[in-house]
Chain A
Amino acid sequence: MGQDVELLDVSMRFGEFYAARNINVHIQAGEFFSFLGPSGCGKTTLLRLISGFMDPSEGQIKIGGKDMRGIGSNIRPTAMIFQNLALFPLMTVENNIGFGLEVRGVPKAKRKKKVEELIELVDLYGTGDRMVNELSGGQMQRVAIARALAVNPAVLLLDEPLSALDLRLRSQMRAELRNIQRRTGVTFIYITHDQTEALTMSDRVGVMSIGKLEQVATPDVIYNNPETIFVASFVGESNIIQGDIISIDGDYAVLKTTSGSFFCKNPQHMGQGETATIFIRPETVFLAKEPNADNVLTCRTKNLSFEGAYAVVTLTTEQGQLLTMRLNNDGTVPRIEEGENIKVRFSRENAFLLKNGGTPIA
């Protein structure tokens, strides 16, 4: 059913401004792939390039192995779900869903059957002859999905379609989208600025900064092993400590910082003398029980916010390095007062060295 989508060195320029620059990614057939990035990072541009509303300034887009340059969006095997849904307000639900079939000249009886199937698939039973603006937000969403699926696309493009829904509906629709994708086997390319959405639904995620694809990987790799500071700081909370590499030990290295020297994983195999950044998730920072172990910092508690299942503690070292710690409320956590001095540590397995550069998201 689904087809693969290949972006080869794709750039899109508007005047002097690059909305996308040298993007390379191969999205597999039948994959649920998300582009995740802040607004204005060029992810919508990518989607519009794939759907054929415009052609890239440079590079090549292949769908199912075929070069798409010059092929209009009405011929490409893609269908798009727009951010504002773009339902046809002057048509009924049935006519909206059947539109793609109608313009292809599918006979009426066949069309009707297909539309009924889709109405069932997206759980819209009994709304067929209503006008679309009489529907609720969630129902409109479903009409948009059904309308796009009606033309049997090989690739479904979704441009933040859930952003207008309320929180509860959104998580419900997430599950349904994933479900529909599994059942139909269509390649889904999903665009979002919401990391939870990207991480929960996708097979793979591509994280974008301004015009640039930073990392493509499965959700757990994106979260646990970000390759750039941008990815590390955009996806999830993170602590960042800067310093210089003073020694190398196999896959590990020692980074000297103003707050002390730390052992870290060195996945990118940076050399001695390079400046680098340590990246640590707040949930991998713990209270230090043995004061003389590695990677221990003495900090003052700046702020403590108790959230029930966990507490978030903001710390600062004597040298002014900020650190966030997330303590699970497992019954072993001692009372911590604001302003108190405590020792915290992190394991070398949970600390990664990343190259400096790029723009971290605060």
Chain B
Amino acid sequence: MRDFWNTALRDLGKIGVAYILITVGTWLVFMILIPQLIMFDYSLRPMLPLRELGGPKDVWTLKNYMVFFSNRLHMAIFFKTIWSSLIVTVVALVICYPIAFYLAKVARGAKVGLLMLGLIIPYWINELLRLFAWQIILADLGILNQLLIFLGIIVDPINFRMGNGAVILGMTYAYILFMVFPIYNVMESLDSNQLDAARDLGSSWLRIHYKIVVPHAKPGIAVGCTMTFMLAAGTVAAPQLLGSPSSFWFTQVINTNFECANWNLGAAYATVLMLLCVMFMFIMLKIFKVGLKELTQ
């Protein structure tokens, strides 16, 4: 420990060390850790009128979580959020894997740059506007209905926003690019000679992917899936813009709790969402046998 400080002071000087301690310390303590802990603390306390705060009733309890687990509707919404996010993740993975591979190992020269720009532009366009585009397409008078009517497939416009399909579609569109880039990044570092060698030895392309490309791309796939799942499960915008008013999503339930000023219950629901995302990340790490350390490279 003394060695650590000595080296730190020697390499970075007093001001440098102080700078690091202050910036990172503030960030770590006041922006990352304490707010999370306070949210957790909130979730463990009952909602009380102002005058009873700090009184005998203001103790830790699991009551808020009990409310959640005993509310059938909310549980159903929670599971809907899980499976929808899973669908989004899987669909994004299936669509993006070939794109990432093509960009990383097949395309050459200026084409790569152009296609990459084609991915970067939508990536930077505001999430809300990307969802808005689908709001227009899926509207009763929207292009999709018009097209289907024109083709004679349907007579009356379909209300796409009735079910959950529109939200899932919108989420996929909005977050798909978070899957492409991490996978691309790791595939790019794969030695092309390995692929050529395997091809020379007569491996089928399916086998090449299964044996060489996928094992190499595992960390990227794990990150891509974690990001996509997290964004899908945590989105407020997609259900707000594309969901039907009669079918809520989990983030909307959280939002309602806050709007109804039951912050404690809202905090409990938020904690549940947080735990879901953390669990998903660890499941990804487990499935792809990637260590946290490997992710950090």
The interface of chain A, by Cβ under 8 A from chain B, is 53-54, 72
Q: Does B10 have its Cβ within 8 Å of any Cβ on chain A? A: yes
Contacts of A54 in B (CB 8 A): 10
A53–B7 CA distance with the chains assembled, in angstroms: 9
Contacts of A53 in B (CB 8 A): 10
Interface residues on B, range: under 10
Q: Measured between C-beta atoms, what is the minimum distance from B252 to chain A in Å?
A: 52
Q: Measured between C-beta atoms, what is the minimum distance from B53 to chain A in Å?
A: 53
The interface of chain B, by Cβ under 8 A from chain A, is 10
A72–B10 CA distance with the chains assembled, in angstroms: 8
Closest to A15 in B: B3
Contacts of A72 in B (CB 8 A): 10
Sample (3) of A-B pairs whose CB atoms are under 8 Å apart: A53-B10, A54-B10, A72-B10
Which secondary structure dominates chain A's binding surface? loop
Contacts of B10 in A (CB 8 A): 53-54, 72
Closest to A72 in B: B10
Would you list the 3 A-B pairs with minimal beta carbon distance, nearest first? A72-B10, A54-B10, A53-B10
Closest to B7 in A: A54
Q: Measured between C-beta atoms, what is the minimum distance from A274 to chain B in Å?
A: 44
A53–B6 CA distance with the chains assembled, in angstroms: 11
Q: Measured between C-beta atoms, what is the minimum distance from B13 to chain A in Å?
A: 10
Closest to B11 in A: A53
Q: Measured between C-beta atoms, what is the minimum distance from B158 to chain A in Å?
A: 62
A53–B10 CA distance with the chains assembled, in angstroms: 8
Q: Measured between C-beta atoms, what is the minimum distance from B73 to chain A in Å?
A: 60
A233–B114 CA distance with the chains assembled, in angstroms: 62
Q: Measured between C-beta atoms, what is the minimum distance from B16 to chain A in Å?
A: 14
Closest to B9 in A: A72
Closest to A14 in B: B3
A4–B102 CA distance with the chains assembled, in angstroms: 64
A275–B205 CA distance with the chains assembled, in angstroms: 68
A157–B126 CA distance with the chains assembled, in angstroms: 57
A72–B13 CA distance with the chains assembled, in angstroms: 11
Q: Measured between C-beta atoms, what is the minimum distance from A17 to chain B in Å?
A: 14
Q: Measured between C-beta atoms, what is the minimum distance from A15 to chain B in Å?
A: 10
A181–B220 CA distance with the chains assembled, in angstroms: 55
Closest to A52 in B: B10
Q: Measured between C-beta atoms, what is the minimum distance from A287 to chain B in Å?
A: 55
Closest to A55 in B: B6
A98–B30 CA distance with the chains assembled, in angstroms: 44
A264–B29 CA distance with the chains assembled, in angstroms: 75
Q: Measured between C-beta atoms, what is the minimum distance from B185 to chain A in Å?
A: 27
A72–B9 CA distance with the chains assembled, in angstroms: 11
Q: Measured between C-beta atoms, what is the minimum distance from B144 to chain A in Å?
A: 55
Q: Measured between C-beta atoms, what is the minimum distance from B50 to chain A in Å?
A: 58
Q: Measured between C-beta atoms, what is the minimum distance from B200 to chain A in Å?
A: 37
Q: Measured between C-beta atoms, what is the minimum distance from B9 to chain A in Å?
A: 10
Closest to A73 in B: B10
A43–B155 CA distance with the chains assembled, in angstroms: 87
A72–B6 CA distance with the chains assembled, in angstroms: 12
A292–B18 CA distance with the chains assembled, in angstroms: 81
A313–B180 CA distance with the chains assembled, in angstroms: 66
